[in-house]
Structure 1
Amino acid sequence: MMDPHLIPTSGPDGRVADATQGNWVDHRAPAAARPYLRLSRADRPIGTWLLLLPCWWGVALAALAGGPRPFDLWIALGCAIGAFLMRGAGCTWNDLTDREFDAAVARTRSRPLPSGQVTPRQAFVWMCVQALVAFGILLTFPGFAIGMGVASLGLVAIYPFAKRFTWWPQVFLGLAFNWGALLGWAAHAGGLGWPPVLAYAAGICWTLFYDTIYAHQDRDDDELIGVKSTARLFGRATGAWLRGFGIAAVLLLGLAVLGTGADGLALAVSLAGVAGFGLHLVWQLRRLDIDDAAGCLVLFRANRDAGLILAAALGLAALL
């Protein structure tokens, strides 16, 4: 039962505390839709990017291996729409399961459910609507890719509970958020191969990197309410762990590129993208202060650019 003394009020006009400044939801969306869009994190788009980028890696790697096709454009666009919808459905599910915890954490108590902007029933209906529309998009992909998409739902369902039973909930987030590397390849190739599996593993390492940074925002609150995370587990050794995850991600991505059989200029461009991705992680590590919550949020959001560097290089290499 939620302690009534912990029930917060939301920010001005219902705004969520960690929403992106000047976001379109708080300024241009219809007032009635705002609580639902906030449930979907439409006012915090970084999560959609982090779900989408591995999809683009996967389809670009497949095009690099087998040659680009016109249908790849729809795969890329369909993944973008699907990432927005499934990230929204997943976040709604996460908020339904975590509403008691969210009410006790300073950064999350202004979210729509703990602040009373929506009821659990309304949130559940909204989650189903988003998932069904996303499923309609998935049905336009080849059969094997449809099966891959459906298979990811188990990971999405489990993730919100991971922080209750393991110090490594970021692993479960990585398993769910990087599934698109497999799906994107499968939508192009109709099956799987080693390159997408290696890219998937790299993405999991990347998630451990960026979500540990993110979790340091709530480290003290998480300790008070008993929520586990890699931020609490690593503590002052966080930098060393993140270096290890970053190195692993870069090596695995390099092997994924080599596994496509690319050569010449395409290979050079792809590996340059991997190097650019790695240099961005180095840049983040040099600026990381785990006691600066605002700085951790900035670095977490910067991972969109790291993933885009790689996606752009792989896409260009596939065209070459």
Structure 2
Amino acid sequence: MTEPADDDLTHLHHAAQPLAMIPAAQRIRHVRADRWIGYPHALAVIEQLEVLLAWPDRGRMPNVLLVGPTNNGKSMIIEKFRRAHPPVSVPDREQIPVLCVQMPSEPSVSRFYVALLAALGAPLRPHRRVHELEQLALTLLRATGVQMLVIDELHNLLAGRDGVRREFLNLLRYLGNELRMPLVGVGTREAYLAIRADAQLENRFHPTILPVWGNDSDTRSLLASFTASFPLRKPSHLTSEEMTGYLLARSEGTIGELSMLLTAAAVAAIETGEEAITHHVLTITDYTGPSGRRRRFERDLA
């Protein structure tokens, strides 16, 4: 294949241009790596979290509930924010400004405290009672200077029995009052339904929604950012209304699925030598959307 001149790479971000000249196997590895696209909704959420992190201490701290469909970028936003506030080593201990913990798939107060202590890096003795786990968690949260607690996969709360759900909702209220720090819940619509079951928590958690993507200028800007970051040697033209609609229909409108589709297409573009994501490349791309995967799985089970 004839290598393009540097002038032919102006369709790429400056950082991606030299990558377009490396061997195909290395370019494919780069295409498949995680990438951050700072689209407006994501930047607005991060700004909201920055404001929350800097909130002055008061009796009732504000909280945020980040809600969106599965695979729509919630966890990636949280990870981006966490990396912007990494742990800092100080004499005799580590300061952790933002602590992220995942709600256990089978929720219980004891399992949550164990997950919290594991996120803090605390050694755990087996068979500790809930009140012991609670006191240890509170002590370490204060000792490590945690300023914000993020609870991902909060919708898992609905997997518990009614009594367990009420107990955990009481725990959220207790942590907010006791620690005087903002809490951030992250999950699907079911997370909002869980929080709404408690009137006090519903008033404290401000919902922020990450909607599915539509055929609009924000999505076309997102597509342009993706294609400019892939080290392909020819420009990909994905921002027409027709092409945007096709990509959204195939990916079913979430950024995670859209990223999977575009990544697979960029790999196909390199492997076939077309060097651009075209309609032909998309037709041969090895990608099936969520509904198709579900139907295939159900068919295979039958």
TM bucket (normalised to shorter chain) is under 0.3
Higher helix share: 1
Higher strand share: 2
Instruction: State the TM-score, normalized to the length of structure 1.
Output: 0.24
